[in-house]
Amino acid sequence: MELIVKTLPNYGIVEGKLPDNIIKDIWQLIEETKESPTDAKGFLAGNISSSLNLNTTSYITDSFKYNVLKVFVDKHIESWGLMKGQVKEQCLDLSAFWVNFQKQTEFNPIHNHSGLYSFVIWMQIPTSFKEQKQLPIASESNSNWCISNVEFFYSDILGGHRTLQYKMENELEGTMILFPASLNHQVYPFYNNDGVRISVSGNISILTGENHNEN
């Protein structure tokens, strides 16, 4: 008796460690942003100290778009096909680009993003999840896997609620993930640490009309 197994399609996440030269360029972009900052908090959900817009027209950003974003998007399409409403001839562009500076007790509530794809790069992680979950506030909790972490929320084919956690440890620095922009996610607070968690994020949208032709 021959059995056939079929996996029902669903979108996923593309993850990769960025090369040192790319990380160096992004740090340079962050430092340049600090010299003439523009606040990004008005369009973000984060309950955090500072979010700044990154320059979307610099040569560093141009290089990042073609050498990193395109590679991640192509891998997502290769793995799960085109996103809903997307066709091959459409052109994608970086529609938002920002850096977050998160301090202890600060958090991002459950939210999603605009656009087609979104990404995050963890640049600096001052905490260890293994240590955070041992703090008195979490050690006796049956949800001590939440503290300090990033969590994604999605539904399975039976309508059940599922989660995926990224555990915040130093080895995640330099890691980038790309995911569907409408995928709900949340960043939990960390405690007893005076460091700053620095992450870079952005949204990728479809260019249409004149913008498409110019690009």
For the stretch 183-200, pLDDT in tens is 999 999 999 999 999 999
Q: Which residue has the tokens 């007893």?
A: 192
Query: What are 4-31's pLDDT values in tens digits?
Result: 999 888 899 999 999 999 999 999 999 9
Q: Residue 2: inside a domain, yes or no?
A: no
- Counting the structural domains of the chain, the total is 1
Instruction: Give, in order, the Cα–Cα distances in Å from 182 to each of 58, 96, 157.
Output: 27, 15, 17
Question: Is 38 a member of any domain?
Answer: yes
The model's pTM is 0.92
Strands (E), 35-160: 50-53, 91-102, 108-111, 117-124, 150-155
DSSP-derived letter for residue 9 is: P
Q: Is residue 160 part of a domain?
A: yes
Task: Determine the pLDDT at residue 37.
Answer: 93
Average of per-residue pLDDT values in the chain:
93
CATH number at residue 144: 2.60.120.620
Place of tokens 């249409």: 208
- Joined together, the tokens standing for residue 106 give 């600060």
